[in-house]
Structures are given as C-alpha cells and as structure tokens.
Chains A and B, each alone.
Chain A
Amino acid sequence: MSSRQSLFATVVIGAVFAAAAAAQERPLSLAVLKSGLDFASAEVRALQADEFANPGMLWVERGERLWSEAAGSAARSCASCHQDARVTMKGVAARYPQFDAKAGRLLNLEGQINQCRTERQGAEPLRYESDELLALTAYVAHQSRGMPIAVSIDGPARAHFEAGERLYRTRHGQMNLACTHCHDANWGRKLAAETISQGHGNAYPTYRLEWQSIGSLHRRFRACLSGIRAEMLPYGAPEYLDLELYLAWRASGLAIETPGVRR
C-alpha cells in the first residue's frame, strides 16, 4: 500500500470510529424495544393495568403519605421543598440514574432520596428494600409513568455508562453467562416455561409475584446473579449503579411503568 493510500485508510477508519463513539449503536433499536410486560402472561398484564388491584400501588400510596411526613433533625418533609410531587416529580425518574456534580457520583432514585434525607432533612438514610424506601421510590417513579426514559450518558456519566456496558457484556458465575446472552441474544425465547424478556428496568420498583412484594431493580439484579450462580453484590453497589445507567440508556424511549407487576 502506498503511503497516500495508508493515510486515506487511516482517515476513513478514524472517521468510522469517531462516528461510532459519537452516536453509539443501541443493541435494541427503538422499533424492537419491548417492555417486560410484552413477555408477561395475560394475568400479569391485567394486574398491572388495574390501578386498584395492582399490588404495587399499596406502596405508591404509602409513599404519597411519607412524602408529606416530616423527618430528621430539620423536621422537613419531601413536600417542604418539593411541594406537590405530581407536579415537581413529573419526568424526574425518567432522567435517573444521573451524575450528581455536587456529590461527585452517580445517583439512582434511591440514592437521590437518601441524599435528600441525610443532607436536607438531617435524617438517617433508608435501607434498600425497606418499606419506606420502596414506597418513596415507587411514588416518585410513578409520577413519570408513561414518560419515556431519557438518561444522559454525557460528561462525567460517560465513564459510568461504559463501566455498566462492560459489566453487561462480562460473563459471570458458574453458568458463565453475561446479561447480553439472555437479554440481547435470546429475548423472546423460552427458558424452561418462561419467556426471556429484553431485561429493561422501566417498571421498577416492581411487584414481583415471586417476591410476594414490591422490590427494587437491585433486588432484580441479585436475582439474576443468583440465577446464573454468580456472587450477588450488596444492594447499592456502585456496579449496580453503572449497570442501571447502561440499562436505562439501552431502554431510552421506553415508557416508565412503575409500579410494574411481573412474575
């Protein structure tokens, strides 16, 4: 190859890479994106659709009450700063996880709620899977129901996004499987009697019949990890946060359904 041809080749290859980095190809295009609900039985779909019978609503309503309860040394409630959640929290869940510049870290909804509790209310942070945190998270996310996920992976979020993607594609556990093997390569196919979903988190916190309770996305990650016989990281692990961001980006455009109902 002449030096001119190799220079041209380098420029072309460089341009292709630059384009790829700027507009990253989603594994699932918007046209193909399907909520977990599409893989659920008619019974589960009906339960989610029924505003009253949806068991997750028990926590959403609890969250509504907690929203106005004063807490901590500052004796402030969420409402003290945020007034009516139906107005102020609209669209918020759709943007999480997001990088918090002041805190210098990636925050999911649970993390944001706890940041408010510790720094603005002077209260103890709420434990993952505690009734209160589930209720508040479900209540806030519920205010974005029907709205498309729209997270940012720019700036400081970028490193977290890339870490999340690496995790998503890394094999784990005795079964040596990565998330992508089921949720990109085999969604829609059967695993025993179940139909594999695309693995989106748009309905979380969600009421899982398996749990007989509402639960967080981190709980679902742990369930998947135990399913492939891998070590379950603790709730709130930074790896889970990175993964959440990647998943949210991967599901961009999919509507939030909280509280979801799943098997």
Chain B
Amino acid sequence: MNSRLQVPTTAKRGEPVEIRIAIQHPMETGFRYDAVGHAIPKNVINTLVCRYNGVEVLRAELGSGIAANPYLSFYVVAGDSGELDFRWIDDEGNRGEAHAAISVTA
C-alpha cells in the first residue's frame, strides 16, 4: 500500500517527537453506490499499530468516519535509537507496513 512517513531523523532523549503517516486508501464507507446502482462494499483500514523498537506506542481503531487517504499525526517519546514500525490492516484483510529509523542523541 502506498504510504508516506514523517519521522524526525534525530531526536533528543526524553522529548516527545511528532510522527506523521499518510496512507493511500479509499476508506470505502459501504454507503456509496456504483454507476449501476450496486452498493460498493465497505472496506476501511480498521487497525493501525505503531511499535517503537518492538514496543507498541500507539494503537488506532479507525472507522469509515476517518477521511479517505487517512492521515494521522501523533507523538512518541524519544528513547533508544532504533526503528519505528507501522502495520495496518483493512476490512478485506489487506495489510500494509512502513518503517523508519530514528536516531536519538543523549
């Protein structure tokens, strides 16, 4: 899945840093109809999890009330240098992932 991540390349230990993610996904509500009048089945990214060096730091339960091409900004306290790992899944079972390295100075 097409996605973009914004993670500061460096951070000071102990300070909260802003993480931003944008994912290309229609977040299909299930309330729309196609040109022939058939309901387009619901399919939204329902869960997004961010792990920082393996530890879950954010879990988001999303619904059709989140706009298409979901965008999320949240915070994480800079701890050890390492990796931020994102995984998400939609109603159809399609999975997406993104990773970014984060370097933390004392």
Chain A residues near B (Cβ < 8 Å): 52-53, 55, 57-59, 61-62, 212-213
Contacts and interface: CB of A to CB of B under 8 A. Distances in A.
Interface residues of B, number: 14
B20 A58 contact: no
B67 A58 contact: no
Nearest to B27: A212
Contact of B6 (A52, A55, A62, A213): A52
A55 B26 contact: no
B2 A62 contact: yes
A177 B6 CA distance: 46
Contact of A57 (B4, B26, B27, B68): B4
A55 B22 contact: yes
A212 B20 contact: no
Interface of B: 2-4, 6, 20, 22-24, 26-27, 67-69, 71
A59 B2 CA distance: 9
B26 A52 contact: no
Contact of A212 (B4, B22, B68): B68
Given A52-B20, A58-B69, A212-B67, 4 more contacts: A52-B4, A53-B20, A58-B3, A212-B26
A57 B68 CA distance: 14
A57 B2 CA distance: 11
Contacts of A213: 26, 68-69
B68 A61 contact: no
A52 B20 CA distance: 8
Given A52-B20, A55-B22, A58-B24, A212 B69 contact: yes
